[in-house]
Amino acid sequence: VLPPGLLTAADYERLAPQFLDAGTLAYLNGGSGAEITLRDNLAAFARHRILPRLLRDCGGGSTALSLLGRPFHHPLLLAPVAFQQLAHPDGERATARAAAATDTGLVLSTLSSVTLEAVAAETPGEKWFQLYFQPDRAATADLVRRAEAAGYGALMVTLDTPVQPAGERATRAGFVMPASVRAANLTGYAPPPRRVLNAGGSLLFQGVMADAPGWKDLEWLLGLTRLPVVVKGVAHPDDAARMKALGVAGLVVSNHGGRALDGMPSALDLLPAIRCAVGADYPLLLDGGVRSGRDAFIALAMGANAVMIGRPQLHALAVAGALGVAHLLRLLRQELELCMALAGCATVYAIGPEALHSPQL
Ligand code: FNR
């Protein structure tokens, strides 16, 4: 049974601290650095207003869309979020059940606390696998083969965190990963090679960054699989254009929910220039700060084809497991439908820049 009074994602966020210890909450909610980008992600949506059109025929409307040539019931996807057993003992299994129950596309993290095979068994619907390049190409290739065999329909390779900054909020709150929560997909792969540093060398550059992927690795991945490859974490229009030219099937405009480079612009502010760089028909997703159907509408109006939801799924998971996530997704979808109906947009394809109020006009 759900606790009373849960009407929005914000209600789940407000209740989540009752179900999580302070360290875990800080790890899940926090951003990198001074959390400038984390705050901007949320603030960006609040700056836009929607301009409704009257008397349009919306009777046959729906939120359905096609993405990478695959059918989706609505444009709200579950973002890849690591270690979901931190939020609930059922972890990604619960999220997968919620996705299946609500016809929601799911993107599973490389760092999931349940194996990709076990999650696939819970999700008959559309699911993609988020790939982190492993230091060892054989391990990366093995992850790709496993995702293909388990029925994942696309690979989403995340490139914005060649090094993962420690969250100050989590560090201050004394967060340590519990021994019971593991990267279930990675057991059995060799640990990263130990690097010998030059005299005066930096562990960051000669250690972690020496193993970080480059353009050659992206090209290698594109040649390795027949699955569509989507790149997550794109911020610069030139990177976006180069990826499109290489054969990348779509992009996620994202700053990793403010957990990558602090000081980056909000995801929403990055979106128009990237849409401009890749043209009208190229698949673009956005994540970072989407907390309502209205936010999703605004992202679509600014040029996204779909959005992904990060932290809210963790809040709902912590509060009520699979039922909570399914309920949250239903609420968000209903908010989007209501927003579309009131704005006079019968389909997601009808949501464009003209649906936003531009005070200068
Ligand atoms: C993430 N994110 C993430 N991204 C990714 O590609 N692989 C991953 O394993 C993770 N893990 C992860 C853990 C936690 C706790 C958070 C909060 C985020 C980033 C995620 O996919 C997404 O980009 C952001 O969460 C979107 O921002 P919002 O919706 O949280 O504001």
Q: Is 179's pLDDT higher than 70?
A: yes
**Cβ atoms < 10 Å from Cβ of 53:** 12
Q: How far is the CA of 60 from the centre of ligand 1 (A)?
A: 35
Q: Is the pLDDT of residue 158 over 70?
A: yes
So what's the pLDDT on residue 57?
96
Neighbours of 211 (CB within 10 A): 15
Name the residues annotated as catalytic: 256
Average pLDDT of the residues in 64-72: 97
What tens digit of pLDDT does each residue of 89-114 get? 999 999 999 999 999 999 999 999 99
pTM: 0.98
Binding site for glyoxylate: residue ranges?
Answer: 27, 132, 256, 259
Give backbone dihedrals phi and psi of 344, rounded to 5 degrees, phi first: 85, 30
> Average pLDDT, stretch 141-160?
98
Q: What percent of the chain stands above pLDDT 70?
A: 99
d(CA 327, ligand 1 centre) in Å: 20
Q: Is 315 in the pocket of ligand 1 (CB under 6 A)?
A: no
Pocket test for ligand 1, best of 112, 256, 264 (most atoms within 8 A of CB): 256
Using 50, 70 and 90 to split pLDDT, how confident is the model at 193?
A: confident
Residue with tokens 């951003």: 31
Residue 290 Cβ inside 6 Å of ligand 1? The answer reads yes
Gap from CA of 31 to ligand 1 centroid (Å): 10
Q: Average pLDDT for residues 299-328, to the nearest whole number?
A: 98
Query: What is the b/e burial string over 315-332, where b = at least 16 CB atoms within 10 angstroms of the residue's CB?
Result: bbbbbbbbbbbbbbbebb
CB-ligand 1 contact for 232 (6 Å cutoff)? yes
Averaged pLDDT for residues 178-188: 97
Closest C-alpha residue for ligand 1 atom 1 = 81
Rounded CA-CA distance 68/70 in Å is: 5
Known binding-site residue numbers for FMN: 80-82, 109, 130, 158, 232, 254, 287-291, 310-311
Alpha carbon of 268 to ligand 1 centroid (Å): 16
- Looking at the CA of residue 41, tell me the nearest atom of ligand 1: 31
Q: Whose CA is nearest to atom 10 of ligand 1?
A: 81
In this prediction, residue 252 carries a pLDDT of 99
DSSP 8-state assignment for residue 360:
T
In the reported structure, the alpha carbon of residue 81 is separated from the centroid of ligand 1 by a whole-number distance in angstroms of: 5
> For residue 200, what pLDDT is reported?
81
Ligand 1 in contact with 112 (CB < 6 A)? no
Residue 41 Cβ < 6 Å to ligand 1: yes
Answer yes or no: is the C-beta of 167 below 6 A from any ligand 1 atom: no
Task: Report whether pLDDT(229) > 90.
Answer: yes
Residue 121: phi and psi, rounded to 5, are: -65, -20
Q: Is the CB of 81 under 6 A from ligand 1?
A: yes
Angle in degrees, CA 317, 264, 79, rounded to 5: 25
Supply the residue whose CA is at minimum distance from atom 19 of ligand 1.
256
User: What pLDDT is stored for residue 136 in this prediction?
Assistant: 92
pLDDT level of residue 199 (50, 70, 90 thresholds): confident
Please name the amino acid found at residue 41.
N
Distance 257 CA to ligand 1 centre (A): 6
Q: Say if ligand 1 is within 6 A of residue 109 CB.
A: yes
Q: Note the pLDDT of residue 360.
A: 64
Given a cut of 90, is residue 131 above it in pLDDT? yes
The 8-class DSSP code of residue 258 comes to G
Asked whether residue 361 carries a pLDDT value surpassing 80, the answer given is no
- Surface-to-core class of residue 173, CB atoms within 10 Å of its CB (0-12 exposed, 13-18 middle, 19+ buried): middle
